Structure 1
Amino acid sequence: MPITAKLRDFLAADPVARVRLTGVKGSSPRAAGTEMYVGPEALFGTIGGGQLEHIAIEAGRALLASGDLAQVLDVPLGPEIGQCCGGRVEVSLQRMRESDRRAALRRAEAQDAAEPSVFILGAGHVGRELAKLLQHLPVNCVLIDQRAGELALNTAAVETRQSAIPEIDIMTAPPGSAFIVLTHDHGLDFLLASAALERGDAGYVGLIGSATKRARFRSWCLKHCDGLSIDRLICPIGAGGSRDKRPAVIAAFVVAEVIAALTAETAETAPLRGAAPLIAAQ
């Protein structure tokens, strides 16, 4: 579910306090601009956890209980509060009005629109396990297959597409998207992996298989794709992980690989991404 939908449900409650890091000096769990929302019993988002977050939550709930409108905290992140970051943060607390709720939803909509897309091309055992993990991460995940039966087995809260020509889905994907290719057919794998590489702007292109499959794909590209370079291709995928070949284990290592690639590609936007809540209400 997109952040916006989750936040809209949370903000339907009353009252709610917005807790925001408005200043950061030195080391801190999160960057300036990071925010969370606090209700009398529920939470949405995080400003980094630990004692800092505990103090902020207690202050937010005290503000709501007292009827006050706003408060600013100056918190040292050191031995004084049992935290070892070593920096210092300014925390702004504000009782949310209706206009504040609308503004928060607009920020969440902008964040949803900015999240990178991950296309899983193949809804077999590993593809479905990938979807289960990616549904919890700040990406727009799309699970694609030509087979309706395999898509029907998906239980993750991600977009699914039955696509007769998945090359079109690759061609029309947003810039910076990640593509994980693991269909039921080696020939189709080669077509889709080459289409993703030919874009030139993918954040990640991964092809399930072995070193032998990579070598065969390289030869295939030389013959059929005017010598398309496969230097940016990840194959095997999740290769830095375990020898365990169970689909769920493979998926865990691949997801880590994909997210590492996407966050490295968008490092300059990391402060912006950190400015809105990234976890569901607790």
Structure 2
Amino acid sequence: MTGWAAFALERARRGEAVALVSVCAVQGSAPREAGTRMVVTPAETFGTIGGGALEHQAIDQARKLLASEAGHALQANYALQDWPLGPFLSQCCGGHVRLLIERVVDTGWLEAALAFQAAGQDFTIRTDLGPQLAKTVRPDLGQSEAVRALSRDGGYLGAARPPTTEVGALVQREAIARPRLLMFGAGHVGQAVARALAPLPFDLAWFDSRPEFALPATLADETAQFEAIGLAAPASLYLIFTHSHALDYALTRAVLRRGDARYCGLIGSRTKRARFLSRLKAEGLDDTGLTCPIGLTALTGKAPEVIAVGVAAQLLLLVQTPARSEIPA
């Protein structure tokens, strides 16, 4: 999936004017969190900062910036703006959002960001505010905040929305590392789940042994699928819904034998679960790590698209709440 940096760089290389809108601070209720970005050109947008009146105003402000005189030496290529989300914008959120709206002039930092993304490495983007913006891209500094505001003398400003006159720089963290998810089976359910997961923060490896399902999944015979499980990193996630119950069982057994899966999801009814558990118990395997049926149990539909929504939601709840010991059902 194309990200904001790739989109911005590609449009800039075409010679188009490009602006970047970043949520750099929020207080109270807001449609998106700090760190959210949107790319704006005279004719297009990519991404969203939450929609509604705020986004409409941000796009308008970005395009006005792009239409302004960019070549003048004293012309600032950015604006740091505070927006109340109450009556002023006719939004009911009630909070405040600070936006950094900037013209993309130097693309070197975008190229550096893309290099970190391609390497799967977390990184930070430091934006120094002055007569013109200065951007520095470096490996992740380890801070937990999505955006860290620095004073003009380099000190950390801990308030969520310190006065704009005090802000000298913004250090924005980009978390790239994604949990590894191995998925077995590219039938109707597998295809629906893959579509649902495409925009979500998972590193997907998808396998099927049938040539007719080789694309977009990877064609891999059973031996290769077992090898993929054996080579997977600790705490990987697994989804199993092949065309064969015998293969489902063999893959499930291989995952549980590892003993380190963060999630092992098996498609099937409660009857299938009972039969598999009985066989696993007979083989002396610990079945406590098995999730079957998969997905949120509140969603009872059996259409592939419904199953996909339930599975994606279950996995998101799991990876976003790492302290929880139970899989939400």
Report the TM-score when normalising by structure 1. 0.80
Which amino acid in the other structure matches residue 228 of structure 2? D
Aligned partner (choices 26, 43, 58) of residue 24 of structure 1: 26
- Bigger drift between 190-199 and 40-49 goes to 190-199
Match of 1:9 in 2: 10
Q: Which residues of 2 match residues 229-268 of structure 1 at below 5 A?
A: 230-238=287-295, 240-265=297-322
Match of 2:81 in 1: 73
Kindly state the Cα deviation for residue 91 of structure 1 after the two structures are TM-superposed: 0.9
Which amino acid in the other structure matches residue 237 of structure 2? A
CA pair 241-151 structure 1, distance change in 2 beyond 3 A? farther
Cα root mean square deviation, aligned: 2.7
**Ranges in structure 2 where 5+ consecutive residues have no aligned partner:** 71-75, 122-173, 325-329
Q: Which has the higher strand share?
A: 2
- 1:227 aligned to 2:280? no
Kindly state the Cα deviation for residue 10 of structure 1 after the two structures are TM-superposed: 4.1
Q: Provide the rounded CA distance (Å) in 2 between the counterparts of 1:50 and 1:200.
A: 47
Which amino acid in the other structure matches residue 77 of structure 1? L
- 1:164 aligned to 2:173? no
Q: Which residues of 2 match residues 58-97 of structure 1 at below 5 A?
A: 58-66=60-68, 67=70, 68-96=76-104, 97=106
1:202-223 residue CA offsets vs partner (Å, 9 max, x unmatched): 3432111111221222222222
Q: Provide the rounded CA distance (Å) in 2 between the counterparts of 1:128 and 1:206.
A: 16
CA pair 260-243 structure 1, distance change in 2 beyond 3 A? same
Which amino acid in the other structure matches residue 95 of structure 2? G
Match of 2:206 in 1: 143
**Ranges in structure 1 where 5+ consecutive residues have no aligned partner:** 268-282
Match of 2:163 in 1: none
Indicate the structure whose relative CO is greater, using CA pairs within 8 Å and at least 6 residues apart: 1
Contact 1:178 1:262 in 2 (8 A): no
Which amino acid in the other structure matches residue 321 of structure 2? A
CA pair 182-20 structure 1, distance change in 2 beyond 3 A? same
Q: Which residues of 2 match residues 102-141 of structure 1 at below 5 A?
A: 102-106=111-115, 108-109=117-118, 110=121, 113-141=176-204
CA pair 213-161 structure 1, distance change in 2 beyond 3 A? same
Report the TM-score when normalising by structure 2. 0.69
Q: Say which SS state the counterpart of residue 306 (structure 2) adopts.
A: helix
Q: Provide the rounded CA distance (Å) in 1 between the counterparts of 2:108 and 2:296.
A: 49
Q: Provide the rounded CA distance (Å) in 1 between the counterparts of 2:96 and 2:175.
A: 30
CA pair 139-169 structure 1, distance change in 2 beyond 3 A? same
Kindly state the Cα deviation for residue 193 of structure 1 after the two structures are TM-superposed: 1.6
Larger radius of gyration: 2
Kindly state the Cα deviation for residue 106 of structure 1 after the two structures are TM-superposed: 4.3
- 1:36 aligned to 2:30? no
Contact 1:7 1:105 in 2 (8 A): no
Which amino acid in the other structure matches residue 34 of structure 2? A
CA pair 91-243 structure 1, distance change in 2 beyond 3 A? closer
- 1:202 aligned to 2:211? no
CA pair 255-32 structure 1, distance change in 2 beyond 3 A? closer
Which amino acid in the other structure matches residue 272 of structure 2? K
1:100-142 residue CA offsets vs partner (Å, 9 max, x unmatched): 4224434644468513333221122222222233234333333
Contact 1:2 1:112 in 2 (8 A): no
Contact 1:11 1:101 in 2 (8 A): no
Kindly state the Cα deviation for residue 82 of structure 1 after the two structures are TM-superposed: 1.0
Which amino acid in the other structure matches residue 318 of structure 2? A
1:173-204 residue CA offsets vs partner (Å, 9 max, x unmatched): 34443211111222221221233334444343
Q: Which has the higher helix share?
A: 1
- 1:50 aligned to 2:113? no
CA pair 11-222 structure 1, distance change in 2 beyond 3 A? farther
Q: Provide the rounded CA distance (Å) in 2 between the counterparts of 1:81 and 1:183.
A: 50
Q: Say which SS state the counterpart of residue 17 (structure 2) adopts.
A: coil
1:27-59 residue CA offsets vs partner (Å, 9 max, x unmatched): 222222222211111112222222211111111
Q: Provide the rounded CA distance (Å) in 2 between the counterparts of 1:266 and 1:37.
A: 34
CA pair 249-56 structure 1, distance change in 2 beyond 3 A? same
Contact 1:144 1:161 in 2 (8 A): yes
